[in-house]
Structure 1
Amino acid sequence: MKYFTPIIALFIFISCASKQVINENEIVINSTSLTKVGNDYEMKITKILSDSRCPEGVECIWAGEVQLELEIYKNQKFEKTETLSINYKTVEQNKDFFAKYILIDKKVKDILVQPVKKEGQNIELKDYVLKVELECYK
């Protein structure tokens, strides 16, 4: 029994540590609450202006894009609204945009919009998520 308790504690520690690493390397912005992105800034999706992404299982000429509005807050006070176009052509521009707000020791690895679009399915604002994947500078 003496060995059982430390083993359980170790599993709990590993479980918590792995969750913490995921949170440190990913920022998830939605429309339902403000998300801290670093350097005293928070963001929230306020509007989906368009979603022309190619639906899953459909052949398209291009992947499409999502245009959305983000509200940006500094120290919990509204600062401004920004419009972002998320597509393969704007990857570097969007990385530079988020780099202004995130933690200094991290860089933006990728930016994703979820959920995946499906043919014939409407996605409500509350279901959209903007994931900003981060990595440490090497």
Structure 2
Amino acid sequence: MKQAIKLFSLLLIIALSTGCKKKTIGLNEEFELDFSKTVTVKADGKKFKIRFAKLVEETRCAPDVECIWAGEVAVRIELDHTELHDIGFHSQYPSSIVYKDRTIKLLEVNYKDGSYNKEEDYSIRLKVE
């Protein structure tokens, strides 16, 4: 019985540590990043981190509302825990930036149904080239 408990405990520790690993993304790979989450990008043997830090502005048409203007959206990303950049589909912000000789492109800004303008329910889709 003790061996079964030890085995179960070991398997549980392995499962928990595997589930906590951060995702690593390669070049030209589209990926989704939830609010406040971080991914590691591996490019040419070098790595850097991207974190979705903030919903800067959301003026797109809210669900179930008829709008005559599509609106704009901008988000803030944090790079390597040191640099902050605002990107978006917006007249004041670019939709891509260059960092460490790589272009980071914003492809989409999404939110869960019923969570319009709730920062914690947003995700972004990015691609690093």
Is TM (by shorter chain) over 0.5? yes
Q: Is the 8 A contact 1:38 1:101 kept in 2?
A: no
Question: Equivalent residues in 2 for 1:1-138 (5 A)?
Answer: 25-39=29-43, 40-73=47-80, 78-87=81-90, 93-95=94-96, 97=97, 100-101=101-102, 111-115=107-111, 121-132=115-126
**Equivalent position SS for 2:37:** coil
AA paired with 1:129? S
Sequence identity (%): 18
Q: CA contact under 8 A between 2:38 and 2:51: conserved in structure 1?
A: yes
Q: Distance in 2 between matches of 1:65 and 1:116?
A: 18
**For residues 59 and 102 of structure 2, what CA distance do their matches in structure 1 show?**
27
- Provide structure 1 residue ranges, at least 5 long, that are not aligned to the other structure: 1-23
Identify, as 1 or 2, the structure richer in helix: 1
Seen in structure 2, the aligned counterparts of structure 1 residues 80 and 54 have a Cα distance that, compared at 3 Å, is same
Specify whether residues 26 and 44 from structure 1 end up closer, same or farther in structure 2 by C-alpha distance, changes over 3 A only: same
CA offset at residue 30 of structure 1?
2.4
Q: Is the 8 A contact 1:84 1:94 kept in 2?
A: yes
Could you say what secondary structure the match of 2:78 adopts? Answer: strand
CA distance in 2, matches of 1:117, 1:52: 16
CA RMSD of aligned residues (A): 3.4
* 1:85 alignment partner, SS class: strand
Q: Give every structure 1 segment of 4 or more consecutive aligned residues whose post-TM-superposition deviation is greater than 6 Å.
A: none
Distance in 2 between the 1:49 and 1:35 partners? 20
Equivalent residue pairs, number: 99
Q: CA separation in 2, counterparts of 1:62 and 1:81?
A: 29
Displacement after TM superposition at 1:53 (Å): 0.8
Please say if residues 55 and 117 of structure 1, whose CA atoms lie closer than 8 Å, have aligned partners that are also in contact: no
Contact 1:49 1:66 in 2 (8 A): yes
